[in-house]
Amino acid sequence: MRHHLTHLRAMDLLMAFLSVVSVTLVCARWWGHGDLSPQTRQLFYDLDSLICYFFLAHFAYGWVRAPDRMAFFKANWFYLPGSLPMVEQLRWARLIQLWRVYQLIRSGPDLLGMFRRERNETTLSGILFLFFLLLGVGSGVIYWLESGRPGSLINTPYDAFWWTLVTLSTVGYGDLVPKTEEGRFAASLLILFGVGLFGALSGFMASLFVHPGRTNDETTKWRRQQSEQQDQLLREVKALREEVKALQQR
């Protein structure tokens, strides 16, 4: 979120992805009421509420970091209605986020240049995107493979979600484990992805502590200043040489 829609950023793509997930969950709750169990509907509501809190945290972070907080609020206040977790009817306001990203993509942005220019934000957005994607896909797959099987411990959507979250975080409480061969194979893949995902997150956090307080924009600005100073120094040295040469010719 910024004062003006200047260019596309990696976090915009993540927000658009979460907006699609949120609208999908609302549609499933409203129009799949007869086909979904009460536990599944409650899980979808809780997941959508978590997305709301994520949007609120993102808005609060942008507001705190904005140089002009009043201007930031005036330019982005219409994102707040769709981020309120207690009003499900306002979830359709998430379509504003999708429309915003669509407008930015239509302008033909240089995505590769954006990823190179904003490495920290791109890395964080990519890690969060993979985490949400694996959490959703893993929960659905393990529920499909394990529910209703003899001796299975994962019989509800909540069980599948809890098991996937614990497995991805590499905590592994062991209270829920897959019993089928297919479920164990899916679990082994999820464990490998989880180890790599949290390894990437640890490396990203370590890089922030190694270079605290310096963002990509600040780094670019610092490099530009250093380059300008070097160019100025070279011009002064060249002018000094010409003056010395002119004195020698006299």
pLDDT at position 242:
81
Q: What is the arithmetic mean of pLDDT over 57-85?
A: 81
Count up the domains in the chain and report the number: 1
Q: What is the arithmetic mean of pLDDT over 202-213?
A: 66
Is 34 a member of any domain?
A: yes
Is 4 a member of any domain?
A: yes
Is the pLDDT confidence value at 185 over 60?
Answer: yes
Is 249 a member of any domain?
A: no
Is the pLDDT confidence value at 243 over 70?
Answer: yes
Sorting pLDDT into bands at 50, 70 and 90, what band is 4? Answer: very low
Q: Is 200 exposed, middle or buried (0-12, 13-18, 19+ CB in 10 A)?
A: middle
Is 53 a member of any domain?
A: yes
Number of neighbours of residue 12 by Cβ within 10 angstroms: 22
Is 9 a member of any domain?
A: yes
Whose tokens are 């219409």? That residue is: 78
Is 77 a member of any domain?
A: yes
Is 134 a member of any domain?
A: no
**Is the pTM here over 0.95, yes or no?**
no
Sorting pLDDT into bands at 50, 70 and 90, what band is 231? Answer: confident
Is 133 a member of any domain?
A: no
Domain of 77, in residue numbers? 1-111
Higher pLDDT, 143 or 246: 143
Is the pLDDT confidence value at 31 over 50?
Answer: yes
User: What is the C-alpha separation between 152 and 100, in angstroms, rounded?
Assistant: 45
pLDDT at position 223:
60
HSE-CB of 92 using CA atoms within 13 angstroms: 3
